[in-house]
Amino acid sequence: MIVIIAGMQRSGSTFIFNVARKLLEASGGVTVITTNNMEEALSKKDRNRNLLIKTHSPDFLMDNLLKNNAIICICSIRKPEDAIASWMRTFGFSFESSVLTIKKWLIWHATMSKYALNINFKEIERTPILTVFRISQYLVHKIEIFKALSIFWQFKKSSVYKKTRKMKKDDSGIVDIGFSYYNELTFFHRRHIFSLKNKSAKDTLSDDQIENIRKELEDFIDTSGNYHW
């Protein structure tokens, strides 16, 4: 089985990735890679039964395989202005580039959403254990309650927050990408969870910036700024 996790940036896609990783590990083993290139991903596949790809910008081949039901996709979605604010806050990117990053993803997802399981960030935040069960049903069809609880405890927000706060650039298994560094197995990065309290765009951006976002993304959002995929 080939699965791609292709959620909106800062929308819980790494949580979904790790839930999927644990499920596939127990179902024939899994090779994991982060890449936008399908050929590169296939070249890395080993003897494991499953291949799990994390991406925010799938290439043409991934799209074609999705359209032909040859691979499986899970996407997380979030209110775009909140994702933009989180992207800026976490990595220090400019307002303009952050808006462009999320807009690029929205353009892709508007076409490809019907080929994916789509999970809202609010669900991940409020009922993560139910998200575990949804992903399990989609990928492996069933899961024991104790297995689901184990996955939930490993990747719940407070657990990841503690782990990532202890990460150091020279730790084993850490990949340095300049503006951040991350664990090559989980893909959690040093500031993966900025705060245990969920923040909205209004905590970071000005009213003018939020108005500009809504104007720029008006083809994808409603009057309240919510993505209406």
pLDDT digits 0-9 by tens, 11-26 = 999 999 999 999 999 9
Do 20 and 13 contact (CB within 8 A), yes or no? no
User: Exposed, middle or buried, 147 (CB in 10 Å: 0-12/13-18/19+)?
Assistant: middle
Q: What are phi and psi of 88, to 5 degrees?
A: -65, -45
pTM of the model: 0.92
Mean pLDDT of the chain: 93
What architecture is domain 2-216? 3-Layer(aba) Sandwich (3.40)
Show the 3-state SS of 11-35: CCHHHHHHHHHHHHHCCCCEEEEEC
Question: Could you give the CA distance from residue 210 to residue 76 in angstroms, rounded to a whole number?
Answer: 21
Mean pLDDT of 40-45: 93
pLDDT at 179 exceeding the cut of 80: no
| 189-214 pLDDT tens trace | 877 777 778 889 999 999 999 999 99
- Which pair of tokens denotes residue 155? 């990747």
Burial 153-182 (b: 16+ CB within 10 A, else e): eebebeebeebbeebeeeeeeeeeeeeebb
* pLDDT tens, position by position, 76-97: 999 999 999 999 998 899 999 9
